């Protein structure tokens, strides 16, 4: 089922998410709704809180070089914990909860995390490139943070001004 995506400045996006304790049919239904919503909205990543569920669940499904988005490349990441981070990289990020706004954000270049899959099986894996960036972006959602909070003072001021203007004209 396609669910509504919470949009900034919705306060629920600031809520920290909680760990999943039961790897059951209700988790699988949540993963399905998240996937349907992410694909429908043309996203490559989604955290559960973006559909109003404060659980430590995130999806990432990057697009291939030929522009296709294949479900075989879907990562379902539950209860992630950062084990290591290193390097610095900058990438122009976007977020379905801040539609129409893209800005460069600094992140770690590599990240090693532990997480569980939909069956509760534990994994440990190191990610690089766009996967590393996407994981950090989505894990920030689980802590109640948005990428716009990582902008410089001046860029944030500019964003606030643009966002207010957009709200006024009803876009």
Residue 101 DSSP class: -
Shortest Cβ distance from residue 38 to ligand Y12 (Å)? 7
- The answer to the question of residue 77 lying near ligand Y12 (CB under 6 A) is no
Closest CA to 97 of 133, 132, 145, 63: 145
Structure-token pair, residue 164? 């207010």
- CB burial class (10 A; 0-12, 13-18, 19+) of residue 144? middle
Indicate whether 151 belongs to the interface with ligand Y12 (CB under 6 A): no
Q: Does residue 95 bind Co ion (CB under 5 A)? A: yes
Per CB under 6 A, contacts with ligand Y12 among 35-64 are 41-45
Residues 80-109 that bind ligand Y12 (CB under 6 A): 91, 93-96, 99-100
The residue sitting closest to Co ion, measured at its beta carbon, is 95
* 130 is a site residue for ligand Y12 (CB under 6 A): yes
The tokens describing 142, both together, are: 């689980």
Pair 51, 34: CB distance under 8 Å? yes
DSSP characters over 93-157: E--TTSTT--EEEEE-SEEEEEEE-TT--EEEEEE-HHHHHHHHHHHHHHTT--GGGGS-HHHHH
Least separation in angstroms between CB 154 and Co ion: 22
The minimum distance between CB 120 and ligand Y12, in angstroms, equals 25
Nearer to ligand Y12, 40 or 121 (CB): 40
Catalytic positions, written as ranges: 138
Contact residues toward ligand Y12 (CB under 6 A) are: 41-45, 91, 93-96, 99-100, 130, 133-134, 137
Contact residues toward Co ion (CB under 5 A) are: 95
């Amino acid at each position: 089922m396609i669910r509504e995506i919470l949009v900034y400045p919705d306060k629920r996006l600031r809520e920290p998410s909680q760990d999943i304790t039961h790897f059951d049919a209700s988790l699988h239904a949540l993963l399905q709704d998240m996937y349907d919503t992410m694909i429908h909205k043309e996203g490559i990543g989604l955290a559960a809180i973006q559909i109003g569920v404060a659980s430590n669940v995130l999806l990432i499904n990057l697009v291939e070089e030929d522009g296709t988005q294949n479900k075989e490349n879907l990562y379902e990441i539950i209860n992630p914990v950062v084990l290591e981070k290193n390097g610095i990289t900058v990438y122009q990020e976007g977020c379905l909860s801040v539609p129409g706004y893209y800005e460069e954000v600094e992140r770690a270049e590599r990240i090693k995390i532990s997480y569980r899959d939909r069956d509760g099986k534990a994994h440990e894996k190191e990610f690089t490139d766009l996967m590393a960036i996407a994981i950090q972006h989505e894990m920030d959602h689980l802590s109640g943070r948005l990428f716009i909070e990582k902008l410089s003072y001046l860029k944030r001021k500019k964003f606030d001004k643009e966002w207010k203007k957009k709200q006024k004209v009803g876009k």
